[in-house]
Amino acid sequence: MVDAKNDLKAKLTAKGFKITGGYYVVGNKNWYVLTVSTKELQTACYKVKEKGLFAANLRVGFINKNGVVKVSALNPKYLFLGYLRDGYYSQKALLDKISEKFLSVMKTVSGKLTAFGGEVEGKDLKKYHYMFGMPYFDDFVEVNEFSDFNKAVETITKNLKNGKHHTRMVYKLVYPKSQKAVFGVGLLDKETGEPHFLPIIGESHLAAMPYELVVYGNKVYMLHGRFRFAFYWPSLTMSEFTKIMSTPGDVEDTMEDLTK
């Protein structure tokens, strides 16, 4: 696991990616997620008005099983189409270049890439939702409101560093001048977090984590859980989703706790 992580970190860094964070998912030393970004990606996301910073990090998952490390990655274009939407098309050349560079590094792991986890047509991602009545990307949850931007960032940072509600800060990107910030939050609570929901819906999708928390001005937002879980596990049936029926609410409760 250590060799696999260090090798990929070196290759990504050599291609211009910056390592923004990483953590052992559910606290399991055999499950790890690495997060990376570039200045160009952050700038592109920054330009998208409707919470573009949700897409500012790319993610790689590592699973060590019986000494064999399996590596997976979030498809950048899937993320850009689903999160940036019109912002992807207006910056398509740049974002496609970032995607191709990222995937070229991933190909060095095995020489080829194999898709898994279900598919959604690219044209459908702009207005993706799992089914009628389910939330869209735009249906953000306003977690809390502060007196000012700095107070919001300070509170969340302090609580994450202290591991409040069994959380972990995986990454943190802050833009003081524009009063925007994004945090990557590891959800480690055994009853309500990753140890609970990942074994049910599929731990092979490690690169779906961590969960994003965004600050815009004095307000804090998260993606609605019923959108985000469906977005990263699109092939699951409704009966499978009902097994984590309480999870979206549990995540919201955790994020609210981080802002108190």
Question: What is the average pLDDT across 38-50?
Answer: 91
31 touches 43 (CB < 8 A): no
- List the domains of the chain with CATH numbers: 2-119+130-258 (3.30.310.70)
Q: State yes or no: pLDDT of 132 exceeds 80.
A: no
Give the confidence band of 153 by pLDDT, cuts at 50, 70, 90.
very high
> Alpha helices of the chain — where are they, by DSSP H?
2-14, 39-47, 76-79, 86-89, 92-110, 122-125, 149-161, 194-201, 225-232, 238-241, 247-258
Give the confidence band of 62 by pLDDT, cuts at 50, 70, 90.
very high
Query: What SS3 class is residue 129?
Result: coil
Q: CA-to-CA distance for 233 and 256, rounded, in angstroms?
A: 24
Strands 219-222 and 141-145: antiparallel
Q: CA-to-CA distance for 61 and 82, rounded, in angstroms?
A: 20
Average pLDDT, the chain: 93
Give the confidence band of 128 by pLDDT, cuts at 50, 70, 90.
confident
Give the confidence band of 50 by pLDDT, cuts at 50, 70, 90.
low
Name the amino acid, one letter, at 65.
K
Question: What is the average pLDDT across 168-174?
Answer: 97
> What pLDDT score does 130 carry?
80
